[in-house]
Amino acid sequence: MAINDRANSSPTITDVARVAGVSIKTVSRVMNRETGVHSSTREHVLKVVGEMKYRPKLSARSLAGARSFLIGLLYYDPSAAFVSGVQQGATLRCRESGYHLVVESLRDDAPDLAQQVDHMVSALRPDGMILTPPLCDNPHVLKALRDSGTPCVLMSPAREREGIPSVRMDDVLAAEEITLHLVDLGHKEIAFVKGPADQAASALRYKGYVRAMKSRGLTVNKDFVYTGDFKFQSGVEAAHKILGTRNRPTAIFASNDEMALGVLAGAQSIGLDVPKALSIAGFDDSPAAKLVWPQLTTVSQPTYEMARMAVEMLIGTGKSQEDAPEESIESEHRVLEHELVIRMSTGKPAKR
């Protein structure tokens, strides 16, 4: 027992089998939690495994078997807010099942996006791939992945696709709810700062805003709808534009946090007290939402849960490389719960 047979290299399945007095197949069965092993055999093997600190080597399992125990995560332009939750969720869920997360950031300017994806996939052979926006909407990336037979899950895609599972939140509903929050506080003139036309979320959030206004019999004033680009500066401009009017609104709902922060800065720069003179709501619950005064009322995206769910869908789905691509990829579109985060930037409107 005290004699270690080989140098200081880690034990292999053969070593364990020899010490335990069973075949490597039995050790393999125990390690993979297969049924049909006598409980006394199982316990004995497990004991030896513990003593020898045996850990199966991923590369060997991967080469011999059908799974690589690797999940890929593709980023394009990692917005800090998004990355943190996604990473945490995906990585923890992977560990629970003995999987590992391989992250790849693609360059913004890459003309050979599809090739990069293909390269990654054929070297790594991941059991699944998680795509975040805007990559989850890139047809070249999607095609490369489909050609390789790699199962994918799209996170918050602009639109759902036949045959490709996705996870998302309900942008329309969330926007509706936060607008209703403002209405419930007593606001009647509520401005909206829209995102750019090329992003799917823009229209969805606007839709929720309009729906909320109409459901309460409030009119959507065209002068109070400003189209920004989801960046800080466009929020500042929106504030100047919207607040420059004599008959200004008592609340502004900017459809992402960056723009809401811009609105806040713009409002404060012209001496408006938030939330007394103006309520401001955002969308995303980015880290920065808590780093201003007053802290921002916003919507928390379930990034952590979406990532966990994505991994789960991928691990559940068996890899279907050999089969015809279309036949066995289970297609589900899941919608996860968001959360309203009411902070100090929204309050009752001042009496006029």
Contact set with DNA (CB under 7 A) = 9, 12-14, 22-26, 28-29, 31-32, 35-38, 40-42, 54-57, 60-61, 63-67
* CA dist., res. 88 & res. 82, Å (int): 10
Phi, psi of 169 (to 5 degrees): -110, 175
* CA dist., res. 174 & res. 113, Å (int): 33
Among DNA, a second copy, none, what binds residue 221 when CB lies within 5 to 8 Å by partner kind? none
Residues 6+ apart with CB under 8 A from 44: 20, 22
Helices 13-20 and 39-52 cross at an angle (nearest 10°) of: 120
Among a second copy, DNA, none, what binds residue 38 when CB lies within 5 to 8 Å by partner kind? DNA
- Looking at beta carbons only, is 57 or 333 nearer to DNA? 57
Query: Which of 259, 352, 240 is closest to 298 using CA atoms?
Result: 259
Count, residues in the chain: 352
- Looking at beta carbons only, is 21 or 196 nearer to DNA? 21
Among a second copy, DNA, none, what binds residue 269 when CB lies within 5 to 8 Å by partner kind? a second copy
- Looking at beta carbons only, is 108 or 322 nearer to DNA? 322
Among DNA, a second copy, none, what binds residue 25 when CB lies within 5 to 8 Å by partner kind? DNA
Residues 256/199, Cβ–Cβ less than 8 Å: no
Q: Which tokens belong to 8?
A: 């200081």
Residues in contact with a second copy by the rule CB under 8 A: 7, 9-10, 53, 55-60, 62-63, 68-69, 73, 75, 78, 80-81, 83-84, 87-88, 91-92, 95, 98, 100-105, 107, 116, 119-120, 122-125, 232, 236, 258, 261-262, 264-266, 268-269, 286-288, 290-293, 321-322
Among a second copy, DNA, none, what binds residue 29 when CB lies within 5 to 8 Å by partner kind? DNA
Smallest separation, CB 63 to a second copy (Å): 4
* CA dist., res. 108 & res. 73, Å (int): 16
Residues 46/30, Cβ–Cβ less than 8 Å: yes
